[in-house]
C-alpha cells in the first residue's frame, strides 16, 4: 500500500467489508487491491474517460458507448462474451473506470459473469464518487424504466481520485452536485459550505453508514433515493441523460435537483414542513448552480404514470418526503396531491 495519506471510509459488511479511498491520486492504488490469485483484469470504461489504471497483471480495456442507453442487457451480453474471448475466469477481476453508467453496468456484469467475479470501482465523476460506485447496487435499464434489471454486488474497494474531477466539464461537475445535494437533507450539516473534498468524504461516510445497516435497500437505504422519484420519471420520459425530448435536455443530477425541490413542495403541500424548510431546498440546489423548477412542456399526467412504475411504488404512489423527523417514506399519496405539487414545482420562486 502506498504511504500517501488518503481519507478512508469503511463500508462495514462483515467479511465483505471494503474501503472507500478518497483523495488525489487514489487511482494509482489499483494494483494494491487486485486479488492475489487474479491473473487477468478486465478494465471497463468509455473512450471519452481518458483515465488509465495499472492493475499490475495482464489486462485488456473493454469500451462501452456513451450515454444512459448503453446501460442495457445488450451491453451486458457483449461484455460477457468479450470476457470469454479474453479468458477471464472467476478468479480474476473487473475494474470499472468511469461514471455511474460504467460502474452500474460493469458492476452488474461482474455480478453475473461466472456468477460473480471481483470488482474494483474507480469512479471518475462526482456523481460516481459520492453515490453510484458505492454500496453494491448494480443495474441496467429497460425501455420501460431505469435500473429495472440488476443485482447487489459489492466491490472490493472504491478508489475516489479527486484529482480527476478537475478534468470534468462544468456541467458534468454540476450534475454530480445534484446527487450530492440530497445529503444536505439526510444528515450532512452545512454541506454546501464545505470544501469539495470534505463534501465527498462526508457524503461517502453517510452512505457507508446507511449501506452497512441496510445493504439490500429496506426502508432506511431507500432514503438515499431522496429526490429520485421525479428524477427517474423525467429520465424514463426521455428528458434526461440522452439527446433530450421536446427540446428539454437534463443530466441525471439536474433531474435529481428538480426532484429535491419537488419533494419539498409536496411535503409542504401535505403540511409536513414549513416554508422556510422549502426555501432551504432551493438554497442548496441554487448554491450548486442547478435548475430548481420543472421545465416548461412537461406532461404532468405522463410523469405521474411513470412515477407509478418506480421501484418504491409497491403501495400506490410512494415518495421520500421531509418532515419533523427528517426524510421519511410516505406511502399512498393521492394523485391529486402529486399533480398539485407538480404545478407548484413548475413555477419559479
Closest Cα to residue 100, out of 129, 124, 128?
Answer: 128
Among residues 48, 115, 216, 315, the one annotated as catalytic is: 115
Asked if 283 is an active-site residue, the reply is: no
Q: Is 228 a catalytic residue?
A: yes
* 308 noted as active-site residue: no
Q: Is 281 a catalytic residue?
A: no
Q: What are the respective helix, strand and coil percentages of the chain, to the nearest 5?
A: 45, 20, 35
Active site residue 115: yes
**Burial profile 112-130: b = 16 or more Cβ within 10 angstroms, e = fewer:** bbeeebbbbbbbbbbbbbb
> Choosing from 207, 268, 281, 312, which is the catalytic residue?
207
Q: What are phi and psi of 275, to 5 degrees?
A: -65, -35
225 is catalytic: yes
**3-state DSSP assignment of residue 59:** strand
146 is known as an active-site residue? no
Set 71, 252, 268, 312: catalytic member: 252
Is 302 among the catalytic positions?
A: no
For residue 207, indicate whether it is catalytic: yes
Which of 232, 251, 281, 312 does the annotation list as catalytic? 232
Show the 3-state SS of 184-215: HHCCCCCHHHCCHHHHHHHHHHHHHHHHHHCC
Task: With beta carbons less than 8 A apart as the criterion, state whether 202 and 191 touch.
Answer: yes
Catalytic residue among 70, 215, 217, 254: 217
Which of 147, 225, 251, 254 is catalytic? The answer is 225
Q: What sign for the dihedral angle of Cα 98, 100, 101, 107?
A: positive
Annotated catalytic residue within 71, 146, 221, 268: 221
Q: Considering the candidates 68, 179, 215, 235, report the single residue annotated as catalytic.
A: 179
Active site residue: 182, 228, 251, 312, which one?
228
State how far the Cα of 249 lies from the Cα of 174, in Å rounded to an integer: 14
What amino acid positions are annotated as catalytic residues? 115, 137, 179, 207, 217, 221, 225, 228, 232, 252
Amino acid at each position: 500500500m502506498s504511504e500517501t495519506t488518503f481519507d478512508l471510509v469503511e463500508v462495514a459488511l462483515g467479511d465483505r467489508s471494503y474501503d472507500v479511498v478518497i483523495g488525489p491520486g487514489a487511482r494509482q492504488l489499483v494494483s494494491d487491491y487486485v486479488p492475489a490469485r487474479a491473473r487477468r483484469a478486465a478494465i471497463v470504461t468509455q473512450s471519452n474517460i481518458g483515465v488509465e489504471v495499472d492493475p499490475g497483471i495482464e489486462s485488456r480495456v473493454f469500451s462501452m458507448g456513451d450515454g444512459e442507453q448503453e446501460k442495457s442487457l445488450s451491453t451486458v451480453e457483449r461484455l460477457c462474451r468479450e470476457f470469454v474471448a479474453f479468458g477471464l475466469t472467476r478468479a480474476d477481476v473487473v475494474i470499472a473506470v468511469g461514471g455511474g453508467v460504467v460502474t452500474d453496468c460493469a458492476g452488474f456484469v461482474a455480478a453475473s459473469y461466472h456468477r460473480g467475479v471481483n470488482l474494483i470501482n474507480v469512479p471518475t465523476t462526482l456523481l460516481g464518487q459520492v453515490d453510484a460506485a458505492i454500496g453494491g447496487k448494480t443495474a441496467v435499464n429497460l425501455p420501460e424504466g431505469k435500473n429495472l434489471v440488476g443485482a447487489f454486488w459489492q466491490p472490493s474497494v472504491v478508489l475516489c481520485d479527486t484529482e480527476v474531477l478537475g478534468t470534468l466539464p462544468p456541467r458534468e461537475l454540476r450534475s454530480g452536485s445534484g446527487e450530492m445535494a440530497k445529503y444536505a437533507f439526510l444528515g450532512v450539516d452545512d454541506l454546501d459550505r464545505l470544501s469539495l473534498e470534505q463534501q465527498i468524504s462526508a457524503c461517502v461516510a453517510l452512505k457507508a453508514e446507511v449501506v452497512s445497516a441496510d445493504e439490500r435497500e429496506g426502508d432506511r437505504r431507500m432514503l438515499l433515493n431522496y429526490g429520485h422519484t421525479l428524477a427517474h420519471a423525467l429520465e424514463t420520459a426521455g428528458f434526461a441523460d440522452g439527446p433530450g425530448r421536446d427540446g428539454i435536455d437534463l443530466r441525471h443530477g439536474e433531474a435529481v435537483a428538480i426532484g429535491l425541490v419537488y419533494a419539498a413542495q409536496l411535503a409542504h403541500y401535505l403540511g409536513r414542513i414549513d416554508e422556510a424548510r422549502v426555501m432551504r431546498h432551493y438554497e442548496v440546489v441554487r448554491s450548486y448552480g442547478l435548475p430548481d423548477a420543472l421545465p416548461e412542456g412537461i406532461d404532468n399526467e405522463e410523469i405521474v404514470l411513470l412515477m407509478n412504475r418506480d421501484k418504491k411504488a409497491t403501495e400506490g404512489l410512494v415518495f421520500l418526503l421531509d418532515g419533523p423527523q427528517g426524510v421519511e417514506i410516505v406511502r399512498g399519496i393521492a394523485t391529486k396531491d402529486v399533480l398539485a405539487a407538480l404545478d407548484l414545482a413548475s413555477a419559479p420562486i
